[in-house]
Amino acid sequence: MRKRAISFVLIFTGLSHGFVWAQEHPSPQPSKLQRRLEQLEADLDEALVLLERARRRVNALAAEVAALKAELSPKRAEPSVPARAEAVGASALPSSVARPSEQSPARSAFARRILGLESGEDEREHELSLRPEIFIQTRFSTWPETGATIDDIESNFRVSRIETRWSGRVTDRLGLGLEIQYHPAPDGAPEELVNDAFIEYYLNEHVTFRVGQFVKPFGFDIQQSSAVRESPERAIFAGYFFPGQRDRGVLLFGDLDFLNVPALRRVQYFLGVLNGNRFFTDSNRQLNYLVRLRKHFPSINLAAGISAQWGHQLLPPSMAGNNNENVFGVDFQYVYGRFGLRGEFVAGNMPSTLLGLEPEFAPAFRPGRHSSGGALFATYQLTTKDNVYARYDQFNGDPVTGRNVRAFNIGYFRTLGESARIGVDYQFKNRLSFNDDAVNTRLHVTWNITF
């Protein structure tokens, strides 16, 4: 009996001490643990992406070395170099550190799509191939907006985009990009057949020099590819301020990691001198200047950027006054679990001309007037393949009507394998817009494939 009593006292004493210790050392809050887990996952994703890039670079160098050795010694095979390249492949990595696509592929793909970290990169990461990348986009559009005529809409079935692209590294120092699109030809716009045609020179790992015709690196929406964009077309401001999304000139870009300043890590920079016109041919003898900075914060899955353009534009022959073409913008992208959010705001001098090989002056343009626009986009990943989204889009100071345009889109899309996607989008719009790639119908069903 005495032994039982002693055992009971010992058990009670242990439980009491355990209770007191638990009160004095509370466990971390679930929210803190969740934030820490998300930060670690973001850091791991970034490290895996860098590791994959390094692996590809090593393989490419090994292949080039093997090819040169084969040329110098055609009778002697050199299997050792490719073998070393394979040694740094995914099979040589620990099972817990595989390629990014093998480690939480759905989450990584979703975060990369929302943040768009590959936007604005050069072509050095992959070798140029004779086989092109082909992008086909088909669409069915119906239910015109109130007041729309047949000239204001793209209705029924159509092939909205047909693009063929060659891009990549030619040597260790040189790269190129060439993109040809077919869909403008049936519309009677053969001058739009060439999208991209540029040459790159890689000064080092942090600096690239590009010259030719390329996407203007202003903001996020301008640079996002149609193959990954969720909504049918870009925001309204993009089609007015930057019709065609491209320009001709020179561009110096890269990252600031070489400065070894913690605050400037993961900062991209873009410095451009461009024709600055509203299409590919130079419409005046003045140049425009462009600057963009963008920083990625992996610990909180956030990216943010600022963009600015200074220059001049043409005035109608009957007008005189301010001919500035200054545009400024801010943008951000954020991911939290299955939720993604993007925002962008742009403001500047009202565009004087619309998209066209020859200047077509906007009816409501007056020197000194300003326009502004912005879009807020939110999406939720239902499953690894299914996503829903909503976007609010507004443009103030339409150069055609002089009025403000507002649009609200809701949509759903599903990925089909790794290369195809089908989506449905419905738009509410208060009035028509006349920007490049204007959307003046309510319902859209789009099917993309890239191969």
pLDDT at residue number 75: 44
320 vs 70, more confident: 320
Report how far residue 412's alpha carbon sits from residue 389's, in angstroms, rounded to the nearest whole number. Answer: 6
What 107-114 contacts at long range (C-beta under 8 Å, 24+ apart), as own/partner pairs, is 107/41, 107/45, 108/45, 108/48, 110/335, 110/338, 110/340, 110/381, 111/42, 111/45, 111/301, 111/335, 113/228, 113/340, 114/333, 114/334, 114/335, 114/340, 114/341, 114/342, 114/379
Residues 400-420 pLDDT 10s:
999 999 999 999 999 998 899
pLDDT at residue number 82: 45
Q: Which residue do the tokens 């590791």 mark?
A: 51
Residues 165-179 pLDDT 10s:
999 999 999 999 999
Question: What average pLDDT score do residues 339-368 get?
Answer: 91
pLDDT tier for residue 71 given thresholds of 50, 70 and 90: low
Averaged confidence pLDDT in the chain: 84
- What are the structure tokens assigned to 357, written together? 């090989």
pLDDT at residue number 110: 93
Residues 327-348 pLDDT 10s:
999 999 999 999 999 999 999 9
Report how far residue 160's alpha carbon sits from residue 425's, in angstroms, rounded to the nearest whole number. Answer: 15
Name 114's Cβ contacts closer than 8 Å, sequence gap at least 6. Answer: 333, 334, 335, 340, 341, 342, 379
pTM, two decimals, is 0.78
How many other CB atoms are there within 10 angstroms of residue 88's CB atom?
A: 17
Is residue 33 pLDDT above 90, yes or no?
no
Asked which of 65-79, 237-251, 307-321, 353-367 is least confident by mean pLDDT, the reply is 65-79
Asked which of 10-19, 61-70, 158-167, 250-259 is least confident by mean pLDDT, the reply is 10-19
pLDDT at residue number 15: 41
Task: Using a pLDDT cut of 90, give the percent of the chain over it.
Answer: 64
Which fold is adopted by the domain 115-450? Answer: Porin (2.40.160)
Residues 418-446 pLDDT 10s:
899 999 999 999 999 999 889 999 999 99
Residues 370-392 pLDDT 10s:
999 999 999 999 999 999 999 99
Distances (CA, A) of 148 to 155, 234, 402, 430, 431: 11, 20, 17, 12, 9
pLDDT at residue number 49: 67
86 vs 264, more confident: 264
pLDDT at residue number 182: 86
Domain residue extents for the chain: 30-91, 115-450
314 vs 250, more confident: 250
Is residue 104 pLDDT above 70, yes or no?
no
Of 306, 295, 300, the residue nearest 267 (C-alpha): 295
Report how far residue 133's alpha carbon sits from residue 450's, in angstroms, rounded to the nearest whole number. Answer: 7
Of 393, 430, 395, 387, the residue nearest 408 (C-alpha): 393
Residues 215-247 pLDDT 10s:
999 999 999 999 999 999 999 999 999 988 999
pLDDT at residue number 283: 65
